[in-house]
């Protein structure tokens, strides 16, 4: 992987993320509970456990990523060698200021959970739909963390590099309208992600982002 990350002409790489589990504590916090260790009371406890089992059988975390060698970064926009893809954002440019390579990626837990949530809503079971939705959101975030802070970070460290924080479309000054281009460049279609005319990803429980890869301080000479 590290060779691919440093290769300016790399094509998208896809991978399953089998080590991603449902972050139970984060789901509880998303649902409004004050702590991740709160003790649920019946009948909510049974419903929550049922939802965890149901969602667990429907999600298949998977990722697609592509490394791009930075051609120029003027603090306003970042351009890459071998592609017309450009990031016009001061905040992303600042994030990538010390990076010679950027990694664009997308993760998703797949379409089945979306379908189940929609089915629960049609049946009027809004509470279960809400719990399943929270599970999907937090698991997608856990999948992004797995790719970012474990897989990519570990591979980067093996090559005396480190990764920056990640930045997603729709935050700060990077508009959501770039979503289609980002999914296109990182190979999101290879893992089943499409983008609607309003720039939303389908499956809904998907995350896209960019991060930087740069030489660690002790090796930068």
Query: Which pTM value belongs to this model?
Result: 0.91
pLDDT at 220: 44
Two tokens, residue 97: 């200021």
Q: Which helix (H) or strand (E) holds 129?
A: helix 126-145
Q: Quick one: tokens of 187?
A: 């190979």
Backbone φ, ψ for residue 138 (5° rounding): -70, -30
In this prediction, residues 5-23 reach a mean pLDDT of 82
11: DSSP letter: P
> pLDDT (tens digit, 9 = 90+) per residue, 168-192?
999 999 999 999 999 999 999 999 9
Residue-level pLDDT at 6: 54
Q: What is the pLDDT of residue 57?
A: 96
**Pairing status of strand 201-202 against strand 194-195:** antiparallel
Residue 7 has a pLDDT of 52
Query: Which pLDDT belongs to residue 76?
Result: 97
Find residue 68's DSSP bridge partners: 102
Q: Which two tokens stand for residue 180?
A: 């289609």
Q: pLDDT tens across 42-100, in order?
A: 998 999 999 999 999 999 999 999 999 999 999 999 999 999 999 999 999 999 999 99
How high does pLDDT run on average in the chain? 92
Q: Residue 8: what pLDDT?
A: 45
On the question of pLDDT at 101 being above 50, the answer is yes
CB atoms within 10 A of CB 52: 16
Task: Flag whether pLDDT at 108 surpasses 60.
Answer: yes
Tokens standing for 102?
């950027």
User: How many residues comprise the chain?
Assistant: 221
Domains of the chain: 2-219 (3.40.109.40)
Model confidence at 215, in pLDDT bands (50, 70, 90)?
Answer: confident
pLDDT value, residue 35: 77
């Amino acid at each position: 992987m590290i060779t691919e990350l440093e290769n300016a002409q790399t094509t998208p790489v896809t991978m399953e993320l089998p080590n991603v589990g449902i972050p139970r504590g984060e789901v509880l916090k998303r649902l409004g509970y004050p702590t991740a260790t709160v003790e649920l009371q019946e009948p909510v406890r049974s419903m929550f456990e049922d939802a965890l089992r149901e969602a667990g059988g429907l999600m298949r975390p998977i990722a697609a990523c592509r490394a791009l060698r930075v051609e120029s970064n003027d603090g306003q926009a970042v351009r890459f060698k071998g592609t017309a893809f450009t990031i016009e954002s001061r905040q992303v440019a600042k994030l990538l200021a010390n990076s010679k390579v950027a990694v664009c990626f997308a993760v998703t837990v797949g379409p089945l959970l979306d379908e189940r949530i929609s089915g629960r809503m049609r049946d009027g079971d809004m509470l279960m739909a809400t719990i399943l939705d929270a599970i999907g959101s937090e698991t997608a975030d856990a999948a992004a963390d797995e790719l970012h802070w474990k897989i990519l970070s570990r591979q980067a460290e093996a090559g005396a590099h480190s990764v920056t924080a990640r930045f997603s479309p729709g935050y700060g000054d990077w508009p959501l309208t770039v979503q289609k281009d980002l999914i296109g460049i990182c190979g999101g279609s290879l893992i089943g992600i499409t983008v609607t005319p309003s720039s939303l990803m389908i499956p809904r429980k998907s995350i896209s982002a960019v991060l930087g890869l740069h030489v660690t301080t002790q090796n930068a000479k």
